[in-house]
Structure 1
Amino acid sequence: MEKEPLSLYELNALVRQALNESLPDTYWIQAELSDVRSNATGHCYLEFIQKDARGNNLIAKARGTIWANVYRMLKPYFEESTGQAFVSGIKVMVEVTVEFHELYGFSLTVVDIDPTYTLGDMARKRREILKQLEDEGVLTLNKELEMPMLAQRIAVISSSSAAGYGDFCRQLEENPYGFVFYPRLFPALMQGNQVEESVIAALNAVNDHRDDFDVVVIIRGGGATSDLSGFDTYLLAANCAQFPLPIITGIGHERDDTVLDSVAHTRVKTPTAAAQFLITHMHDAALSLEELAQTLISSVSVRMDKEHSRLSELTNRLPLVIKNRTIREGYLLEQLIQRINVGIARSLTNKQHRLMLLEQRVNDASPERLLKRGFSITLKDGKAVTDSAQLKAGDVITTRLAKGEVTSEVK
């Protein structure tokens, strides 16, 4: 008997009927999103894929659809809950119906999504990144930096058009204490696929002028919560963890910290909170300095009182000290006078003895003594004659004796 062949449409209709009968309910599946796109009508078309855990090779794939009426509610719900954009590359848990169309073939129609599964996967990835940073010994390096007491020179990494940047600067400028801050913007993309690359480039620019700044502030305000995934990357976290200046993050979210928040020196929720943190830090520093000034004034006052008392005590003791010193110096002076007198007497005695000796020698050598011993002195014109050649015949000479003198004429 000749068999009647089926048309392709008829075969596909049988497949559709079989699937509808065997898989009539909705099913929760776990898969990775791929090729996510939406059209002008609001429908979302995507692929679900599963990879081999070991080789990262595709082992399953299915076309998926999210109709506009579901997508309008599902997408913002998911992104608000997870802080993750509904894009390719993320893992999701979705509730689907199994569809088969004679023309378009097999597909899965999404009717619901469980954000907690994606959150768990994101948390796992964050834990893996933090574990890697810890194993490399850099996880807490930025936290260990000392916050400068006067953190006034601020490198701000943000979008120049972000409302959060304006709020940050305004908060600093209008602080109630009149503190002066010097913020300088290093522009970066704070949402989209280029967050990691852009913020790292800004950090490199700050590092080139790091001696000009006290802290770095990374802030973001007004962007979608779904754009926070850019702050959950290893490269950005590693750059921040090893940055030589303290980093303050305020990227505007309430959920668990991003990886960037976990490695930064200080994490606050919003740009305004970042400004308030710096103002409070300055206020605390001002109070500390004021306290130190008061302590210094008090210490000086105490020291002055102590020195005044000491001076008064010395002043009261001074007359007695002077009297005792005068008595002591007077005693020493008397001893010195006595020693001088003894020295003078001894010196005079020695000099007198020498004079007596000299006198004796002079007396022994005097002409009178010589004359008494029988010598005489011949004088011519009042001058002693020591050589007969000095005389000639007819000269009158006088001979002086011990007693008297004789006048003679030379023949």
Structure 2
Amino acid sequence: VFTNSRTLPCPPRHLLVLTSPSGAAIRDVLAVLKARWPLARVTLIGVPVQGREAASALIAALGLLNRQSTLDPERDAVLITRGGGSLEDLWAFNDEHLARAIFHSRLPVMSAVGHEIDTTLADLAADMRAPTPSAAAEMLVPDSHELAQRLVGLERRLSRGIQVRLDGESQHLDHLRSRLRHPGEALGRQRHLLRELEVRLCRAAQARLTNERQLLQHRQQRLGACHPRRELVHAAERLDRARQRLQHTMPRTLANQRERLAGLARQLHAISPLAVLGRGYAILENEAGQVIQRAPDVEPGQALTARLGEGHLDLKVIRVIKPSSTQGAS
């Protein structure tokens, strides 16, 4: 019950306050919200905060809020608060049912009950605790004046950054302008380079063509000296001999492999659990598919499955007879 730690939205889109409409707590909360975040949308749900009816009223109001589909746990929040008082005045916030309702709340809950020294079960079950109602309002919303100052500072930093960037780009532009040359000069250099590359390409192509011709003549001479007809005759002879050896050894090899495969099949069948089942035995399994090996592993009324040699049976345990006693458990 005391493990909630969700982060409350800051500021919440809609703040729902559960407290007494006439108490000092709501006045403190509204005063702080007005000073720090005037845009806050606050809804007061008036409930008694002490007495016998306080806990049930808080639980009912919290349940009503959690049933509102328009409220979003990511953007809305609930504040349960009241001012200080004696232990008897705060006792409604020590109600177990209220603590469980806060723990199971769909909306995040902040609790601010009493003063800083007061701690209730509602504080422990809430997602966040504040020492006082005023402190809760300060924790729920940012300070608009501080945000305005931060925005002014960021605006100044942005202006300085833009000016620095503009100055840098201006200097870079001036540098590029100084390096800029007439395109005719670049075209002239490229034209000269193109002529040189053309001459080099013609020379390289001529040399490559000469080398290929010489290589072709050399290979033609080798091919004439080593005609493939002789190699084809020898290859045909080797192929015939290999075919004869294959025809001679293949039947024997196939027979040996068949005998070996039959022996392996007999061995596999001998150790197979299905062969044991075929001799009249059965395997009991629970609903999770685990094999039952001992009677104490099951309870009366538990459903089991018996695997047979052919098919299976759905069983239900009527009685468990343990090995140490003759009387079954019922």
TM range (shorter): 0.3 to 0.5
More helix by share: 2
More strand by share: 1
- TM-score, normalized by length of structure 2? 0.48
Higher relative contact order (CA 8 A, sep 6+): 2
TM-score by length of 1: 0.39
